[in-house]
């Protein structure tokens, strides 16, 4: 077995969700789940098929995000992995909906942080072992940090 690190390539502030599912209809079901939950959200989805032709399957409503999803899925090349890039909302707006899609087995991360994906490769194929989401923790928040966190959540409309 060989281990590799695959960096997710994306613009700095772009959010995405990385997960694993189990069936080719994942792409269509994720598409439907997103547009039914947040109709105005722009997104691109790519899914690594792990049998038959083993292609990157894709869908979305924003060509730039679809292209980004395709490129990252191909770089990962890990069976049944999917990646969704999104604008016009945050992962929290669709995460429970995504987790409730019957094909979805696991969510590795939902973030705008820089991410490295730890991938194992054997003679059979590739699988995701885990992710490095962002940077190492630097300390414990202060009272000022708490005030700033609360202010940010209210500024972006997630708390009253």
Establish if 109 belongs to a structural domain: yes
Q: List pLDDT tens digits, range 133-142.
A: 999 999 999 9
Domain-located, residue 160: no
User: CB-hemisphere CA count at 13 Å for 154?
Assistant: 7
Helices and strands (H, E) in the chain, number of each type: 4, 8
Tens-digit pLDDT profile for residues 81-115: 999 999 999 999 999 999 999 999 999 999 999 99
Q: How many domains does the chain have?
A: 1
- Domain of 19: which CATH number? 3.40.1520.10
State the pTM of this model.
0.93
Domain that holds residue 115: 2-155
Give domain status of residue 51, yes or no.
Answer: yes
């Amino acid at each position: 077995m060989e281990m590799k690190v695959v960096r997710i390539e994306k613009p700095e502030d772009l959010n995405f969700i990385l997960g694993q599912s189990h069936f080719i209809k994942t792409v269509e079901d994720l598409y439907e789940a997103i547009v039914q939950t947040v109709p105005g959200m722009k997104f691109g989805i790519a899914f690594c098929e792990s049998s038959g032709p083993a292609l990157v399957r894709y869908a979305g409503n924003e060509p730039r995000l679809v292209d980004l999803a395709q490129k990252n899925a191909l770089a990962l090349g890990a069976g049944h992995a999917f990646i969704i890039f999104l604008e016009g909302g945050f992962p929290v707006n669709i995460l429970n909906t995504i987790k409730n899609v019957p094909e979805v087995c696991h969510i590795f991360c939902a973030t705008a942080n820089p991410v490295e994906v730890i991938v194992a490769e054997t003679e059979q194929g590739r699988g995701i072992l885990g992710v490095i989401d962002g940077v190492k923790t630097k300390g414990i928040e202060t009272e000022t940090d708490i005030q700033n966190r609360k202010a940010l959540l209210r500024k972006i409309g997630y708390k009253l």
